[in-house]
Amino acid sequence: MTPASLHQLAPTLVIAAEHDQQLSPETRVRPMLPHLRAPSAYHEIAAAQHYSFLPVCLPNAVELLAPTHEEFLCQEPFGRAREQIHAEALDAITTFFRARGVLGDRR
């Protein structure tokens, strides 16, 4: 992505995970923010990692994934429940859309 291509986007909400191993907020996300068109917004979710945004795993998923060494897909190593992370992301999204008149108030 180039600064020019980022500026061509509609106002955007960027949600990042504080401990993202693949897309570090410090080096990969925050540097692009000044190039987004206003009124874009940024929301960083504390104690979240790259895989925190995957669906909540079934109770036995860690055991099922262990033989292939993929149990990390279901683990939250920073002490926050995935459901809490998802709720915070949803709140950020609905707040962003409501502030722009795209989403109405709950009734």
Q: Contact, 49 vs 73, CB < 8 A? A: no
Tell me: pLDDT of 106 over 80. Answer: no
pLDDT of residue 103: 83
Q: Sign of torsion, CA 46 15 4 103?
A: negative
Task: Say what percent of the chain tops pLDDT 70.
Answer: 98
Rounded to whole angstroms, how far apart are CA atoms 7 and 35?
A: 6
d(CA 107, CA 102): 15
Say what the pLDDT of residue 60 is.
Answer: 96
Task: Fill in the DSSP letter of residue 85.
Answer: H
For 23-64, write each residue's pLDDT tens digit.
Answer: 999 999 999 999 999 999 999 999 999 999 999 999 999 999
Q: What is the structure's pLDDT at 107?
A: 58
d(CA 83, CA 58): 12
CA distance 74 to 54: 8
